[in-house]
Amino acid sequence: MKKLRIVAAAAALSIVLSGCSSQKGNEQSSDNSQTAQITEPLIAETTAPADGEPEDTGTDTESAAAPEQGEQENKLTYEWEREPFLEADDINMLSAGAGILNNGDYLHSDYLLITRGGKVGLINGAGEIIVEPECTRAFSNAENGDQHIIFTDGSPEEGDRICFCVSAGGLFRTAEDVCTLCGGSLHDSEIGLEAVYDPELDLSGTLPAPLLLQKKEGEGVLLGTVLELEPDLLLNGAVVRSISLPRDYSEDDDLATGTLNANYGIVRNRIAMTAMIYEDATDFKNGVAALCRNGKWGYLNTAGRQFLPFDYDADFACFYDRNGKSGVTYYPYLPSEGSIALNRDGRAGYVALSGEVIAPIGTFAKARPVIGGIAWVKDKQTGLWGTIRMYGGTQIPETETVEVPAVEVEPPEQGGQTQNPNPDGWQQAYADILRSDGTGESLQFSLCNVDGDGVPELVLHWYDRKGFEQSNEDVEMYTYYDGKVLSLGNVACDGYCTCKYLPQKSMVLIGGLRDDVAVYDFRRLENGSLVTVCSFNMVIGGDKVTYMVDDKECDKATYIAKWKSYYNGDISYDGGMYHNNEANIAAALGLDAPAAPVAEQPAAAG
């Protein structure tokens, strides 16, 4: 394996941000009889000089072995863990959503978002595609240890969505509020908090994050009982958004309204550490926050002092609405495991929280945070993505994820090759079924190889028959066995007009969630018929979820383990590939299109 090591020490120069002290910082307040004393910052208040930041020199980096134990113990170094191999426009972390003062943070997850052609999907840590890129937005939420990643072109909380349940390891389509695999909520129950500050009244507080995400500059906010003034949560330093409160504001006034402003700053110990001059900002993580000035991002500590200059780009895509605008919001990356991934003008590198440069800007085309010692980077020569491993330094442990305990279950039988006694004539038989349907192109059809007997199954999807919220009767499957077409009946699963099958096990998955009851059958296709091999039943009643496998009640861990033994990543799903017309019938089935009828010629006059 090719190994790289770059250890460059940044010059230790303390930089005080010009204008970062507010008016309150230089004069005494009637509420505070003395100037605030700034305690030691959470990280060193040093950085490389703004005009001396290390750049790519254009020379090749030297190959070197990984550091020996004890060598360079205060330095962070790296090597290729897996050389560039994955083609993607972008790879991004999963947003942590709206939590408690965590704007701009990301999940420390085994999964990442992959973007190709403007569409976003999901990969695992090995770079394997879990969800094909086909939607424009992706969201994640976690509740009681259950994590869900939702893909959609619209809202994450309504409409037909593609969902991946991390606990169950399953992919499904749904328009429901509850995961049909684990019973967890698909809504983010953590409403979150963000900090606000009125520089005129010298008051700071917190408001519910969703309230601020929906509001634009100049919009009014009904404060009521949701504004909490001077909470202890802000004592150690917080990024705050500017707000204008009524001059006679009282917490007892339930009808009081404030006005949100566009600027941000930093408050610590109830004292403004900076002026409210920043255009956008993240919250603090590991003692630093990213703030935006004149379209460029820099990093400040809780004392309001500059850690890295305002010279970097926002490269972390967050697919949630902010400041009243829907779409994608971009931030620079916050620290992870002792380092920060920096991106600027199509060049990237890493710096340690100690101030040392790990990889100069220009080493990579793009760089992503270190998770578990591994980081994804985009190679500037090939344009492909690979992973590097980071060594040494003082890495800050991240919050542990909650995992469902593993339970041993007996795996299901693998599907074998079915012998079809008489496979001839299936193309014409399927064509006859399609041509006899009278619904036109609202019918779409697909060919799916479920049982491996050399003859595909015909799947019909009626897009005008039922709406998603009604009973699923919009998907039918036919097979051709021993010279005959056999109907396998309704095979709809979860989403509107969706069929799911597991070709490695010769199975079809049928069912979904209706009226807070999820019922699923795994059925194996054998000798022209579908035979149920395992049933799953989940009843959601208030705060309680009842789990059953083959009509026997079990605990959640057993249910998920049994489910994963069937639904273990080899699922295929189909929503209809071809509109039902003569050209598609002929092309899909390898048949000649029927000749157009010839009009009779009138008899010649005699």
Helical ranges in 96-158 per DSSP H: none
Tell me how far apart the alpha carbons of residues 42 and 508 are, in angstroms, rounded to a whole number: 55
20-25 mean pLDDT: 33
CB distance 445 to 427 below 8 Å: no
Residue located via tokens 């039918």: 476
Q: Mean pLDDT lowest for which of 164-173, 383-392, 413-422, 567-576?
A: 567-576
Give the number of other Cβ atoms within 10 Å of residue 595's Cβ: 6
Q: CB under 8 Å to 119, separation ≥6 — which residues?
A: 133, 134, 135, 136
Task: Mention every residue, 6+ apart, whose C-beta is less than 8 A from residue 260.
Answer: 196, 212, 215, 216, 217, 218, 219, 220, 221, 241, 242, 243
Q: What tokens appear for 154 in the block?
A: 């619209």
Residue 580, CB-side half-sphere exposure with 13 Å CA sphere? 22
Name the band, by pLDDT with cuts 50, 70 and 90, for residue 144: low
Please name which of 210, 271, 267, 199 lies closest in space to residue 239, comparing C-alpha atoms. 267
Task: Calculate the CA 465 to chain-centre distance.
Answer: 33
Q: Is 138 left (phi over 0), alpha (psi -120 to 50) or beta?
A: beta
What are the DSSP calls for 173-228, one per residue? EE-SSB-TTT--BSS-----EEEEEETTTTEEEEEEHHHHHTPPTT-EEE-TTT-E
Residue 484 has pLDDT above 50, yes or no: yes
Average pLDDT in the chain = 77
Confidence of residue 523 (pLDDT cuts 50, 70, 90): very high
Instruction: Pick the more confident residue, 250 or 425.
Output: 425
Instruction: State the Cα–Cα distance between residues 600 and 379, nearest whole angstrom.
Output: 69
Tokens representing 46 are: 């040093």
- Integer-rounded Cα Rg, in Å, for the chain is 30
CA 353 to chain centre: 27
Is 80 exceeded by the pLDDT of residue 296?
Answer: yes
Q: What pTM value is reported for the model?
A: 0.66
Instruction: Write down the pLDDT at residue 98.
Output: 63
pLDDT of the residue at 53: 37
3-state secondary structure of 431: helix
Residue 100 — pLDDT band, cuts 50, 70, 90? confident
- DSSP for 231-250 reads -GGGTT-EEEEEEE--TT--
Residue burial 395-404, b: 16+ Cβ < 10 Å; e: rest: beebeeeeeb
Query: Would you state the pLDDT for residue 19?
Result: 31
pLDDT > 90 fraction of the chain, expressed in percent and rounded = 33
